[in-house]
C-alpha cells in the first residue's frame, strides 16, 4: 500500500513514465484504491487548485471520516470505501469539439446519442467520463450574453470569485457524510451561471459516464440563476455492468434569485451495482421557481431527495420524480421542501414502480417554518407494484410550525390489475407488452412534463427495464 502510494505521488510528477496509464484503457491517471489525505491533496495538486479549495477538501475529508454511515434509507454497510478508485482521468485534455475527444470515449458518447442530441436540440453540452469532463460546448450567442456553462474545475480557475462565493454554501461540507465525501474528492460536474434577465429556452445538458470498475464518480454541480433569468439543465448518467460495486456521489447546488426559474431534469440509468448517493438542493428566493424532475432507474441503491428551500416570499418549488426498482435494486428517493418565507408554495409528485423483487421507497420531508404564513403544499405519491416479490414503502415526514398553511398529502399503492392485463391481452398484447403499457401509463403524468426527446428516452428506458435487459 505504502509503495503504491509512493508510486502514485511520483506519478503526479510524470504520469506517463510510471505507467499509470491503464494499458487497456489508456487512462492518463488512476488513483489507487482507498482514500487518505494524500489522495485528496494529490487531486487538488493535479488540478492546480487555490489554497482555499484544498483546505476545504481536507476539512471535508475529516467530516466524512467523523460522520457515521446513515442507518436509515438503504443498506450501506456493504459499501467498501477502501475498494474504490476516487479519481480517474481518462483523457489528457478537454475537447472543444468532439474530434478532440479520444476516439474510444467519443464512441461511447456517440452510442449514448449525445453529439446527435447536441446538434438537434441542445444549447450546450458537457460530457464527463470518470472523474473529468472531456467535452464542453455552449452556443455562441449565449456566451455573448454572459452565460457561463463549463465544468466546475475550469470554473474554479476562470471564475474563482463566483466559486468562492457560492461553493458549498447551499450544501455545507458537514451536511451529510456523502456531501462531505464529495466535497473532499469532487471532480468535474457543471458550473452554470445565467446573468440577470437572460432566458434560455432550450436545455443545457450534461452527461456523466462511469466506465471503470470500482470507480467513484464525484461530480460537483453549481447553478446560479440571477434575477429574472431562466434555465433548463438536463443531466443523464449511465455506467456499464461490472461484478463489483462503483459509487456515484454527486453534489448539486442551485441558487435561484428573485423571479428566476430553474428546471433541473435528471434521468439516471445506472447499472445495478452502482451506489447512487446524491445530495441535491436548491434555494429559491422571492417569486422564483425551482423544479426538479428526477428519473431514477437502475443502481443497486439510490438515496436521493432533491430539496428546495423556499426562502423568499412567493417562491415556488416542485419535485416530480419517478423511480423504477428492479431485481436487487432499492430506490430510496423522495423530496425535501422547506417553506421558509410567507406565501410560498410547493408540489411534490412521486411515482414509483417496483418489479421482480425490487424495492421502491418514497421518503419525503415537508417543513413549514413559523412565519411562513399563507404557504401551500401538495404531496402526492403513487406506487405501482408489479408482483408479489416486490415492495413499496412511504415515509412522509411533516413538520409544520405555522397555523396559516394549506397542506395536502395523498399516497396510493396499487398492483397491476388482472382485469387490466386481461383487457389488453384480449386485444392482442402479450403479457409483457401489456404490463409495459400499463407502467408507461402510470408514469405518463410525469413523462409529459419532460421535453419530447427525454420523454421518448424515458419511455424507452422503461421498456428496457420491463424486459429486464438493461445491463
Partner 1 sequence: MTKLLEIKDLHVAIDGKEILKGVNLTMRSGEVHALMGPNGSGKSTLSYAIAGHPNYEVTSGEVLLDGQDILELEADERAKAGLFLAFQYPTSIPGVTVANFLRHAVTNVRNPGRKEGEDLVPMRDFRKELRAEMDELGMDPDFARRYLNEGFSGGEKKRAEVLQLAMLRPAFAILDETDSGLDIDAVRVVSEGVNKVAAKVGTGVLVITHYQRILTYIKPQFVHILYGGKIVEDGGPELVDTLEREGYDWVRAKYPNDAKAEDALSV
Taking 3-state DSSP, the helix, strand and coil percentages for the chain, each rounded to the nearest 5, stand at 30, 35, 35
Per CB under 8 A, which region of 179-187, 201-209, 211-219, 429-437 contacts partner 1?
Answer: 429-437
Q: Other CB atoms closer than 10 Å to residue 82's CB: what's the count?
A: 9
Name residue 138's beta-bridge partners.
124
Asked if residue 437 binds partner 1 (CB under 8 A), the reply is yes
User: Using CA atoms, how far apart are residues 384 and 392, in angstroms rounded to an integer?
Assistant: 8
Shortest distance in whole angstroms from residue 454 CB to partner 1: 17
What string of DSSP letters covers 216-242? Answer: EE--EEEEEE-TT-EEEEEEEEE----
Name residue 78's beta-bridge partners.
none
Given a contact cutoff of 8 angstroms between Cβ atoms, the answer to whether 386 and 418 are in contact is no
Asked if residue 430 binds partner 1 (CB under 8 A), the reply is yes
Shortest distance in whole angstroms from residue 411 CB to partner 1: 16
Shortest distance in whole angstroms from residue 429 CB to partner 1: 6
Shortest distance in whole angstroms from residue 64 CB to partner 1: 42
Asked if residue 431 binds partner 1 (CB under 8 A), the reply is yes
Burial bucket for residue 471 (CB in 10 Å: 0-12, 13-18, 19+) = exposed
H helices within 171-271, ranges in order? 177-185
User: Using CA atoms, how far apart are residues 193 and 29, in angstroms rounded to an integer?
Assistant: 30
Site map 438..467 versus partner 1, x via CB under 8 A: x-xxxxxx-----------------x---x
Collapsing DSSP to helix, strand or coil, 424 comes out as: helix
**Closer to partner 1 at the Cβ: 395 or 423?**
423
User: Using CA atoms, how far apart are residues 87 and 280, in angstroms rounded to an integer?
Assistant: 21
Number of residues that bind partner 1 (CB under 8 A): 27
Site map 378..417 versus partner 1, x via CB under 8 A: ---------------------------------------x
Asked if residue 426 binds partner 1 (CB under 8 A), the reply is yes
Asked if residue 418 binds partner 1 (CB under 8 A), the reply is yes
**Closer to partner 1 at the Cβ: 269 or 345?**
269
Q: Please identify which residue in 397, 422, 456, 468 interacts with partner 1, judged by CB under 8 A.
A: 422
Binding site for partner 1 (CB under 8 A): 417-420, 422-434, 437-438, 440-445, 463, 467
Amino acid at each position: 500500500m505504502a509503495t503504491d502510494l509512493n508510486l502514485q505521488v511520483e506519478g503526479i510528477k510524470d504520469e506517463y513514465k510510471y505507467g499509470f496509464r491503464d494499458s487497456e484503457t489508456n487512462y492518463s491517471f488512476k488513483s489507487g484504491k482507498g482514500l487518505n489525505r494524500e489522495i485528496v491533496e494529490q487531486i487538488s495538486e493535479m488540478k492546480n487548485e487555490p489554497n482555499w479549495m484544498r483546505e476545504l477538501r481536507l476539512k471535508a475529508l475529516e467530516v466524512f471520516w467523523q460522520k457515521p454511515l446513515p442507518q436509515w434509507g438503504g443498506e450501506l454497510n456493504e459499501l467498501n470505501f477502501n475498494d474504490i478508485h476516487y479519481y480517474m482521468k481518462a483523457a489528457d485534455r478537454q475537447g472543444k469539439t468532439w474530434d478532440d475527444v479520444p476516439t474510444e470515449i467519443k464512441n461511447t458518447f456517440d452510442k449514448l446519442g449525445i453529439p446527435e442530441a447536441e446538434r438537434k436540440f441542445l444549447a450546450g453540452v458537457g460530457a464527463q467520463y470518470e472523474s473529468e469532463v472531456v467535452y464542453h460546448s455552449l452556443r455562441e450567442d449565449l456566451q455573448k450574453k454572459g452565460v457561463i456553462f463549463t465544468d466546475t474545475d475550469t470554473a474554479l480557475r476562470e471564475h474563482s470569485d463566483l466559486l468562492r462565493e457560492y461553493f458549498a454554501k447551499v450544501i455545507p461540507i458537514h451536511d451529510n457524510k456523502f456531501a462531505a465525501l464529495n466535497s473532499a474528492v469532487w471532480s468535474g460536474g457543471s458550473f452554470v451561471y445565467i446573468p440577470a434577465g437572460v432566458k434560455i429556452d432550450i436545455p443545457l445538458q450534461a452527461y456523466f459516464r462511469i466506465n471503470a470498475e470500482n470507480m467513484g464518480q464525484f461530480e460537483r454541480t453549481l447553478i446560479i440563476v440571477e434575477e429574472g433569468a431562466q434555465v433548463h439543465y438536463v443531466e443523464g448518467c449511465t455506467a456499464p455492468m461490472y461484478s463489483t460495486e462503483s459509487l456515484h456521489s454527486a453534489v448539486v447546488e442551485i441558487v435561484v434569485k428573485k423571479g428566476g426559474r430553474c428546471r433541473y431534469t435528471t434521468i439516471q440509468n445506472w447499472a445495478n451495482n452502482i451506489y447512487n448517493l446524491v445530495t441535491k438542493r436548491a434555494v429559491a428566493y422571492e417569486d422564483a421557481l425551482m423544479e426538479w424532475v428526477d428519473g431514477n432507474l437502475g443502481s443497486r441503491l439510490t438515496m436521493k431527495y432533491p430539496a428546495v428551500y423556499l426562502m423568499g416570499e412567493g417562491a415556488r418549488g416542485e419535485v416530480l420524480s419517478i423511480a423504477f426498482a428492479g431485481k436487487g435494486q432499492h430506490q430510496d428517493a423522495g423530496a425535501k421542501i422547506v417553506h421558509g418565507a410567507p406565501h410560498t408554495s410547493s408540489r411534490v409528485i412521486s411515482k414509483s414502480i417496483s418489479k421482480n423483487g425490487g424495492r421502491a421507497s418514497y421518503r419525503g420531508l415537508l417543513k413549514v417554518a413559523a412565519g411562513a404564513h399563507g404557504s401551500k403544499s401538495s404531496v402526492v405519491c403513487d406506487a405501482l407494484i408489479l408482483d408479489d416479490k416486490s415492495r413499496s414503502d412511504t415515509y412522509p415526514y411533516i413538520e409544520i410550525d405555522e397555523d396559516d398553511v394549506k397542506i395536502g398529502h395523498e399516497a396510493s399503492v396499487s398492483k397491476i390489475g388482472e382485469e387490466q392485463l386481461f383487457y389488453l391481452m384480449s386485444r392482442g398484447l402479450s403479457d409483457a407488452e401489456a404490463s409495459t403499457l400499463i407502467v408507461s401509463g402510470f408514469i405518463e403524468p410525469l413523462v409529459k412534463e419532460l421535453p419530447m426527446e427525454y420523454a421518448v428516452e424515458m419511455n424507452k428506458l422503461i421498456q428496457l427495464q420491463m424486459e429486464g435487459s438493461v445491463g
